[in-house]
């Protein structure tokens, strides 16, 4: 069993920022999965190949989704795996609720007496009517990827005695985001996209997400230092039960 204390310190004072980080994590997760997938972007990169030019195609949500992993890194580093696990489960349930709500709203019969419904209904179907494969892929990939990310970071922290935070955040993201991408794209698009396109998009988005983690490393360092100072906490998962099938914060 984990020796993690409940959501307060040894003096009975509740943590000041844990709930805010949870809210931020869930907000980014929902927005990236509900708003982002609705738009596919084409970005021209003439500076890569000045003569031939170059372009990349990506879902807009991929710009913001990596931020959820940064939240996960910070939560695990400061508060420990068990508390990060609770946040992952909250995000997982929020995604299921949002998906259920979107499906219900889309499939409720629109009133024929409201002229605006003729415009609204197709728009809702386009923006929120993801296929079942995309929905299932998003939920599974998030759940597995985030738990792997938290587990790897927590284990590395103990092995490295808390040194080299950058190595832990980037290393855990490489593995967690890699598993996320290798689950999401085949489940969502295998047989729909050409295999070469599928692999190219998978690798690019994996690399892009890791790149965001690297670029945000100074922000991660500053946030972790601030939270450890304010919360008076720097948790090491030396006795933690790493099962993902729990919401116990101990």
> The tokens of 183 are what?
């689950």
pLDDT at 156: 98
Judged against a pLDDT cut of 90, whether residue 23 lies above it is answered with yes
Is 31 exposed, middle or buried, given 0-12, 13-18 or 19+ CB atoms closer than 10 A? middle
pLDDT at 45: 66
Q: What does the alpha-carbon distance between residue 126 and residue 114 come to, in Å, rounded to a whole number?
A: 20
Banded pLDDT at 38 (limits 50, 70, 90):
low
Domain ranges of the chain: 18-231
Judged against a pLDDT cut of 50, whether residue 224 lies above it is answered with yes
Judged against a pLDDT cut of 90, whether residue 32 lies above it is answered with no
The CB density around residue 114, as the number of other CB atoms within 10 Å, is: 10
Class of domain 18-231: mainly alpha
> The tokens of 67 are what?
């931020």
Q: Distance between terminal CA atoms of the chain?
A: 8
pLDDT at 83: 96
Give pTM, 2 decimals.
Answer: 0.88
Judged against a pLDDT cut of 60, whether residue 195 lies above it is answered with yes
Q: In this predicted model, what pLDDT tens digit does every residue of 132-159 receive, in sequence order?
A: 888 899 999 999 999 999 999 999 999 9
Judged against a pLDDT cut of 90, whether residue 126 lies above it is answered with no
> The tokens of 116 are what?
């605006």
Left if phi > 0, otherwise alpha if psi is -120 to 50, otherwise beta: which for 53?
A: left
Judged against a pLDDT cut of 60, whether residue 15 lies above it is answered with yes
Comparing 8-17, 31-40, 54-63, the range with the smallest average pLDDT is 8-17
Average confidence score pLDDT of the chain: 87
Comparing 29-33, 158-162, 222-226, the range with the smallest average pLDDT is 29-33
């Amino acid at each position: 069993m984990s020796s993690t204390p409940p959501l307060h310190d040894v003096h009975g004072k509740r943590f000041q920022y844990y709930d805010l980080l949870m809210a931020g994590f869930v907000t980014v997760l929902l927005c990236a999965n509900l708003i982002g997938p609705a738009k596919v972007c084409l970005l021209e990169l003439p500076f890569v190949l000045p003569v031939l030019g170059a372009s990349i195609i990506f879902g807009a949500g991929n710009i913001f989704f990596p931020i959820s992993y940064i939240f996960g890194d910070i939560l695990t580093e400061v508060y420990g795996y068990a508390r990060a696990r609770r946040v992952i489960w909250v995000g997982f349930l929020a995604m299921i609720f949002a998906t259920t709500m979107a499906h219900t709203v889309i499939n409720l019969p629109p009133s024929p007496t409201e002229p605006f419904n003729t415009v609204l209904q197709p728009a809702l179907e386009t923006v929120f009517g993801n296929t079942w494969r995309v929905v299932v892929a998003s939920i599974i990939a998030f759940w597995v990827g985030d738990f792997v990310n938290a587990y790897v970071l927590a284990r590395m922290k103990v092995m490295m005695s808390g040194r080299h935070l950058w190595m832990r955040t980037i290393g855990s993201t490489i593995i967690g985001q890699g598993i996320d991408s290798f689950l999401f794209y085949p489940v969502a698009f295998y047989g729909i996209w050409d295999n070469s396109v599928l692999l190219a998009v998978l690798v690019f988005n994996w690399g892009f997400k890791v790149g965001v983690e690297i670029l945000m490393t100074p922000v991660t360092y500053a946030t972790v230092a601030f939270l450890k100072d304010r919360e008076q906490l720097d948790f090491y998962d030396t006795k933690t039960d790493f099962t993902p099938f729990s919401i116990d914060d101990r």
